[in-house]
A and B are shown apart, each in its own frame.
Chain A
């Protein structure tokens, strides 16, 4: 898939575990895992907003386009 999710990179930079992120964002671990492993087909803006707020980053830090 051309869009890569660099969630684990940002989590490592902010030294945040999946459990912590899940509690802050309000997503289940399985949903976060789907996002982290690149299996997600779509992301809601509300979810992206919550993740960016929790990781103090920009959407572009999490989502990357590769050809």
Chain B
């Protein structure tokens, strides 16, 4: 009973996170479009107070690069949140170890790793820009996602083993 309530609450939280990340991705896309084609002052408040106007004035290509990385990471995080929601929808406590759950968890680990790798590339890119004299304070969260990817991958391996054990148990007469 308590577990079901916690699962429902977490499901709602992840729906909120997913919608928030979708809005963030959309806002970043719109901001990039507005800055490039309508009004360059759009870079002053890209999303939630993120000011990239100095970067835009410094080099438009670098601005497009940083904005693209932000949009890509935001979109990947939104998809990861969607996978978590999908996991909650497919998860059945009576039969937890099944192929669908194991495959969703494996996919989550792959996407978390992708986010980590893209974040590292973005971090290195931002550091290269900062060496040219510009200040760019963006937390890409590379280490956190790489750590998360490692943990989720191990959980995925445990789930796969669990599926094997469960199917063997089901075929034991």
Contacts and interface: CB of A to CB of B under 8 A. Distances in A.
Interface in A29-67: 31-32, 34-35, 39-44, 47
A18 interface: no
A19 to B, nearest CB: 17
A44 B171 contact: no
Interface residues of A, number: 12
Contact of A47 (B168, B171, B173): B173
Nearest to A41: B171
Contacts of B172: 40-44
Interface string B114-148: 00000000000000000000000000000000000
Contacts, number: 23
A11 interface: no
A27 interface: yes
Contacts of A27: 173
A21 B173 CA distance: 14
Contacts of B171: 34, 39-42
Interface of A: 27, 31-32, 34-35, 39-44, 47
Given A41-B168, A41-B171, A43-B173, 15 more contacts: A31-B173, A32-B173, A34-B171, A35-B173, A39-B171, A40-B171, A40-B172, A40-B173, A41-B172, A42-B168, A42-B172, A42-B173, A43-B172, A44-B172, A44-B173
23 contacts: A27-B173, A31-B173, A32-B173, A34-B171, A34-B173, A35-B173, A39-B171, A40-B171, A40-B172, A40-B173, A41-B167, A41-B168, A41-B171, A41-B172, A42-B168, A42-B171, A42-B172, A42-B173, A43-B172, A43-B173, A44-B172, A44-B173, A47-B173
